[in-house]
Amino acid sequence: MKSKIHEYPIKNIYSMSKKTLILSLLAVILYACGNKENAQNVDELIAAKNVTALQAKKTALQGEIAKIEEALATLDVKKEEALVAVQTVKDTVFTHYLDIQGSVDTKENIIIQPEYSGTLTSLTVKAGQKVAKGQILGRVDDAGMSQQLASAENQYALAKTTFERQKNLWDKKIGSEIQYLQAQTQMVSAQKAVAQIKAQLAKTVIRAPFTGTIDEVFVEKGEVVAPSQQGLMRIVNLSNMYVSTSVPETYIGKLKIGTEVDVFLSSLGKTYKGKVRQVGNFINPNNRSFGIEVSVPNPENLLRPNQVAKLKIIDYVSKEATVVPTGIIQEDGDGAKFIYTVENSNGKTGTAKKVIVTTGKSSDNVTEILSGLAPNAIIVTDGINNISDGMKLNF
């Protein structure tokens, strides 16, 4: 019996699904085998109980099915070829970061409060002005303390002269000891009175506690101020900025003073290089974390207290790591991770090979490969969804 399967166009076979192809070819076979000129109808053979003829027809059909399976093994693939992008894997330095969020701050950011009650008789600064440590910012009316100081200083001068004369007499064994001690006591009391008035008078002078910038002034000259009222002004030093944040306790031992940190300010679109300057010694029982401070340079004075910062803290470095783009790593039905490499490459073409790998940490869209990838392997980086193991690749 001459089969008509070889007369069926291959291009039609290629375009059909496997199931449709089998059904179509079986129909052709049945037609060929059922031709009245070559064999009797199957129903007639069954009705006639012709076992020999039925066995012969079964053998013929099995042979044709075997030919179909052989054809499908060749044709049933995604594509015969695929266009991909590749790259050669080289050992490189791999750095993993801990990404956390923090807040910009400065310890030199205070509201200056008046230390003495009275009328603000002088205000020598305005918002935005830079001031030096100790510079006079304003004065409060001293309510006559200057005159009191002058009187106390005169009394002290007299007491000091009296004591010195009494001492000279006592050294010459002239006069009584009680006169000498009384003169000494009066001088010391006058001296303390002068010091006390000076301390009170100093509180009427408002000075800058540190070098910085007057951020805001809350009062006007002539207002009555008191320690219990609102502050006079805010002063900020932007040259000593830092970022504070909390880190999970699992990083104890990994973070040390001096550890480099990338500080990204989304509001500025800038990244600054900082260093850990303080590591907390207390674990917060509520969130199992400890605090750190990262010093940040501020050469352009763009940083401000309470800005949100994103920190990238180096917690792992491998100097000779094998890394691949994270997006090319796939996972099969068994949960194994794999990538496609290129075998038999001539620089333009090659064959796809599925390679099972063990992965490590991921950072900046790359992942460290711990095992499974040969040195200098060529990996497929683009077009991975259109290939399968053993496929011819063009690149």
Residue 311 near residue 102, CB atoms below 8 Å: yes
Residues 385 and 327 grouped into a single domain: yes
Q: CATH number of the domain that 360 lies in?
A: 2.40.420.20
Looking at 43, 75, 107, which one is the last position of a domain? 75
Looking at the domain assignment, is residue 371 inside a domain?
Answer: yes
Looking at 155, 173, 203, which one is the last position of a domain? 203
Q: State how far the Cα of 274 lies from the Cα of 260, in Å rounded to an integer.
A: 6
For the entire predicted model, the pTM comes to 0.53
Cα end-to-end distance, the chain, whole Å: 48
Residues 21 and 53 grouped into a single domain: yes
Looking at the domain assignment, is residue 63 inside a domain?
Answer: yes
Q: Which helix (H) or strand (E) covers residue 322, if one does?
A: strand 308-325
Residue 282 confidence (pLDDT)? 92
Amino acid in the structure at residue 310: K
Alpha carbon of residue 97 to chain centroid: 7
Residues 31 and 70 grouped into a single domain: yes
Q: State how far the Cα of 304 lies from the Cα of 106, in Å rounded to an integer.
A: 9
Looking at the domain assignment, is residue 62 inside a domain?
Answer: yes
Looking at the domain assignment, is residue 269 inside a domain?
Answer: no
Looking at the domain assignment, is residue 163 inside a domain?
Answer: yes
Residues 39 and 10 grouped into a single domain: yes
Residue 299 near residue 274, CB atoms below 8 Å: no
Please state, as a whole number, how many other Cβ atoms lie within 10 Å of the Cβ of residue 335.
6
Q: CATH number of the domain that 191 lies in?
A: 1.10.287
Residues 324 and 390 grouped into a single domain: yes
Residues 44 and 89 grouped into a single domain: no
Residues 88 and 43 grouped into a single domain: no
Looking at the domain assignment, is residue 231 inside a domain?
Answer: no
Looking at the domain assignment, is residue 299 inside a domain?
Answer: no
Residue 289 near residue 283, CB atoms below 8 Å: yes
What are the per-10-residue average pLDDT scores of the chain (395 residues)?
38 42 52 47 77 79 76 56 91 89 92 93 94 95 92 95 92 87 94 94 94 93 88 91 92 86 92 92 93 92 91 87 94 92 91 94 91 92 91 92
Looking at the domain assignment, is residue 303 inside a domain?
Answer: no
Looking at 48, 75, 102, which one is the last position of a domain? 75
Residues 57 and 90 grouped into a single domain: no
Total domains in the chain come to 3
Q: State how far the Cα of 125 lies from the Cα of 137, in Å rounded to an integer.
A: 6
Instruction: Give me the domain span that covers residue 26.
Output: 5-75
